[in-house]
Copies of this chain bind each other. A is one copy, B any other.
Amino acid sequence: MSCSDITYHRLMGRWAPGTRERLQQVALELFRRDGYDATTVADIAGAAEVTERTFYRYFTDKREVLFDGQDQLGAAFVDGVAGAPTGATPMEIAAAGLDHAGAFFTAERRAWSRGRQAVIESDPALRERELLKLAALADRLADALRDRGITDPQARLCADAALSVFRTTFARWLADGEGRSFGDLQRETLSTLQSLSAPNQT
């Protein structure tokens, strides 16, 4: 397969810094150009000028190229929740988790995230995987809230609400022409959630 439009500098060595990111970038370009199903690990490794074996040092399979980073995202939620001030309300504690996790989504990351989302939307199995990963993230957040002394059903409801805010923010942040930061959009989305009991305009 020709990869003339994807040119990269030759690696210094197998563990060169940036290999993971380059594999992700190359994979995303191939997924978008040729389709997710049609792209193989061999194609990705070839385009990134590494061996398949090197690919498998970073990712268990092709799908994980798109879902890598979920562990760090979960850890960011948990750290934010753990660091929220004593005496905060359950929703304020969850909001601290959201703020902390939101820092993940920098302006530099936006183009990658948009491309990734387009690939996920193109494939029902990837969409299902995304939903399940978000559910796992909500479970992790609920555990972190329980560690802060919040009992059920509050912890469960609060974690679900926070994940809904996160997911909604993410979709807004990826929208064409949207230029506001993830953090700003997320704070606005949270306050929209809290206004749902206010009178409807219609």
Known: A135-B131, A196-B91, A200-B149. A165 touches B157 (CB 8 A): yes
Distance (Å) between the CB of A188 and the closest chain B CB? 9
One digit per residue, 1 when the CB lies within 8 angstroms of any chain B CB and 0 when it does not, for chain A 182-197 equals: 0000000100111011
Of A24-32, A82-90, A106-114, the one touching chain B: A82-90
| Of the residues B128, B148, B164, B172, contact of A161 by C-beta under 8 Å | B164
Would you call A156 an interface residue if the criterion is a C-beta within 8 Å of the partner chain's C-beta atoms?
A: yes
**Using Cβ atoms and an 8 Å threshold, which residues of chain B touch A150?**
200, 202
Would you call A168 an interface residue if the criterion is a C-beta within 8 Å of the partner chain's C-beta atoms?
A: yes
Would you call A132 an interface residue if the criterion is a C-beta within 8 Å of the partner chain's C-beta atoms?
A: yes
Q: Is the interface of A mostly helix, strand, loop or mixed?
A: helix
Would you call A144 an interface residue if the criterion is a C-beta within 8 Å of the partner chain's C-beta atoms?
A: no
**Using Cβ atoms and an 8 Å threshold, which residues of chain B touch A156?**
164, 168, 171
One digit per residue, 1 when the CB lies within 8 angstroms of any chain B CB and 0 when it does not, for chain A 81-102 equals: 0000001111111000000000
A168 touches B196 (CB 8 A): no
Would you call A153 an interface residue if the criterion is a C-beta within 8 Å of the partner chain's C-beta atoms?
A: yes
A163 to B171, CA, bound (A): 19
Distance (Å) between the CB of A175 and the closest chain B CB? 10
**Using Cβ atoms and an 8 Å threshold, which residues of chain B touch A192?**
153-154, 157
The 3 closest A-B pairs by CB, nearest first: A149-B202, A160-B164, A91-B196
Task: Name 20 A/B residue pairs within 8 A (Cβ), A-sorted.
Answer: A89-B198, A90-B197, A90-B200, A91-B197, A128-B132, A132-B132, A152-B168, A153-B168, A154-B196, A156-B168, A156-B171, A157-B164, A157-B165, A157-B168, A157-B189, A157-B192, A157-B193, A158-B196, A160-B160, A160-B164
Question: Which residues of A line the B interface, CB within 8 A?
Answer: 87-93, 128, 131-132, 135, 148-150, 152-154, 156-158, 160-161, 163-165, 167-168, 171-172, 189, 192-194, 196-202
